[in-house]
Amino acid sequence: MIIKLFQSSHRLKAQQLLKKHCNSTTSCHFHQGEMGRKFVVGGNWKMNGTKSQINEILAFLKQGPLNESTEIIVGVPAIYLDHVKSNAPANVEVAAQNCYKVDKGAFTGEISPVMLKDIGVNWVILGHSERRQIFQESDELVAEKVSFALSNGLRVIACIGETLQEREAGKTEEVVFRQTQAIANKIKDWYDVVIAYEPVWAIGTGKTATPQQAQEVHQALRQWISQNISPDVANSIRIQYGGSVTGANAQELASQPDIDGFLVGGASLKPEFVNIVNARQ
């Protein structure tokens, strides 16, 4: 498969590395430093935090120190987005945890990308397993929301992942490929998309995929993207791992070549989040 050359030095370097490191004409993965995929760590606060508790989180983020080479995003409950954006350290971005697929209307309880942009929010988390399971969001709806968010200038963390039942049935790749294909059917430009692979069975359970298990899925997904979307997207898109990431296991997970960051739940509410941010030095 021929990879198009971009004019930038990064793309020229990528082409040289492809020839050096790949044994297959159809798939390849790169280390973060080689491809220049910036490590990105997201903290998903979910439905947690009073203002005083959030101020405590902001305090340990300000104390840091936070790796300047890592992109940091916190997913904040909607009513606190403006407060966190106004008080977070300059190098910490703020994300909404959801938004709908239209700009306004009779959709009680929803918020739109237009509203998020209006208060200066640049990121949104979409397709989280809790949205898919508890609120019955389909692959199609998630894809429509991703497309509309992007069209309104938001950057998106798009979540995918399999349940324990699906994993035990050997359907991990089938599920994550299907979920990614649904998004690919709706968008053409992946520049502002980060994919978060979150094995549902490892979210909030204390269980975690081994670094090798996580790497296998990330590598398979990157190869699928290369073959079904484009090699350029496969080589540049960042794929986070989400699933009971802690300060204790983050460094080993971060050492895997196709893991480009984390989407962290409960640990993002604790000071150990700083260690997770600094997992790749």
Task: Give me the active site residues, please.
Answer: 128, 198
Smallest CA-to-CA distance from 121 within 112, 109, 132, 110 is with 112
Residue that the structure tokens 């081994």 belong to: 210
d(Cα 38, Cα 192) in Å, to the nearest integer? 13
What lies within 8 Å, CB to CB, of 191 at 6+ separation is: 236
Total Cβ atoms within 10 A of residue 228: 13
Residue the block writes with tokens 């298990």: 213
> Residue 204: left (phi > 0), alpha (psi -120 to 50), or beta?
left
Please report the DSSP string for 212-241 in residue order.
HHHHHHHHHHHHHHHHHT-HHHHHH-EEEE
Q: What whole-number distance in Å separates Cα of residue 44 and Cα of residue 34?
A: 28
